[in-house]
Amino acid sequence: MQNQPNSALKKTHFCKGMQVFTREELSELSKNVFMAMGATKLDALQASDVLTSADVRGIDSHGVSRLVGYVALWEAGRINMTPEVKIIREHKSTFSIDGDSGLGLVVAPKAMVIAIERAKQYGSGWGAIQNSNHFGIAGYHAMMALPHDMIGMAMTNATPFIPPTHSKEAMLGTNPIAYAFPAGAEKPMVIDLATASVARGKIEIARREGKVIPKGWMVDKHGNTSQNVDELKDGGMLTPLGSLEELSSHKGYALGGLVDVMTGVLSGANYGKWVPPFVSFLPMLPNLPGKGLGHFVGAMEIEGFRDTAEFKTNMDHWIQSFKSAERVNTEQEVYVPGEKEYRTEEYRIASGIPLNDRVVEDLEGLKKKFRLPIL
């Protein structure tokens, strides 16, 4: 039961204030910008692949719109475009990596390759990464395990914008978790979620599009609920998954804490309020407990648990049974995790990637800065 592209996407993809580009165009631009910053061609291709993967899957908050942010961090001296990524500790299936302040878009895929190789040797591979930077969509790294018929996972800590339940001090980032499970005839199931009520990038999208954000996404600096899209500029914060205590925000807080410990404390990276901010204009806090941003990646061979073919057959059955679950509204489809992204990917590969006019302006600015051909 393969899913067909959703025709409703056409209405949202091509609207006023949008311009459409192919993935190849955006990949070429991103690659050239990264190379102009000093990256090798191989690293630049890898970084641009992560960014445009987000765009083509419909995760616009983590695509080429982030390119200006990476440039700003590089200009601030916080990103090393020619890092010496190395293993600093290892034992059988586990290892720790120092990313040498490199792009997370490059460091995390290198760590995932090692995790997959360890999984081939030991049945599973687990890597903790310190001294890195923002790594794009977590799902990209988890999905690297799929061609090997493995289960992949990835997580990262991030700029602290989220207070613990009962607090008004930002201590956690959106701290995403991703898992990718191979299937047979069906598309793989990809779970990629922030442990916040919303990814910070979606706040930026709402700001660019002049929209009011839903209640529960943010609080002001005093901890009161706010729908002001510019609240972050005045000390406002995002809320943990669950948004408010009566809606179980403590569970989102716990999940965000789990990610912070696995990616920060375990790896030797920074954690809590000391995690380096993605925006270049915010200062680093003093007395840092670790090095840079932290990630955690893993890969598991299915054969150690059961026959891979049987697992994939049962995954097909799982997906099909959930897709056919009785609907509340017969017109509203039941989706499985990652399905919307696959549909968007099919559509955007065929019809192009829409970019907000403001994002296009930012990209044109980068092209002028680095004297690249006009987009």
User: How far is Cα 139 from Cα 215, in angstroms, rounded to an integer?
Assistant: 27
Assess if residue 269 is contained within a domain: yes
Provide the pLDDT for residue 6: 38
Assess if residue 260 is contained within a domain: yes
Q: Identify the residue with better confidence: 228 or 113.
A: 113
Please, which pLDDT band fits residue 375 given cuts at 50, 70 and 90?
Answer: low
Q: How far is CA 57 from CA 23, 78, 140, 235, in A?
A: 11, 28, 10, 31
Please, which pLDDT band fits residue 111 given cuts at 50, 70 and 90?
Answer: very high
pLDDT tops 70 at residue 225: yes
Please, which pLDDT band fits residue 5 given cuts at 50, 70 and 90?
Answer: very low
Assess if residue 314 is contained within a domain: no
Assess if residue 318 is contained within a domain: no
pLDDT tops 50 at residue 11: no
The answer for residues whose C-beta is within 8 angstroms of residue 7's C-beta and 6 or more apart is: none
Q: What is the CATH number of the domain that holds 53?
A: 3.30.1370.60
pLDDT tops 70 at residue 133: yes
Portion of the chain with pLDDT greater than 90, in percent: 85
Tokens 């992560």 sit on residue: 50
202 phi, psi to nearest 5 deg: -75, -30
Assess if residue 323 is contained within a domain: no
* pTM score, whole prediction: 0.92
Assess if residue 327 is contained within a domain: no
Q: Which two tokens stand for residue 41?
A: 């061609």
Q: Which of 225, 222, 211, 150 is nearest to 180 (CA)?
A: 150
Provide the pLDDT for residue 297: 99
Please, which pLDDT band fits residue 200 given cuts at 50, 70 and 90?
Answer: confident
Domain count, the chain: 1
Assess if residue 219 is contained within a domain: yes
User: How far is Cα 156 from Cα 150, in angstroms, rounded to an integer?
Assistant: 20
Q: For 294-322, what is the mean pLDDT? A: 98
Which domain covers residue 31, as residue numbers? 9-308+338-369
Assess if residue 51 is contained within a domain: yes
pLDDT tops 60 at residue 58: yes
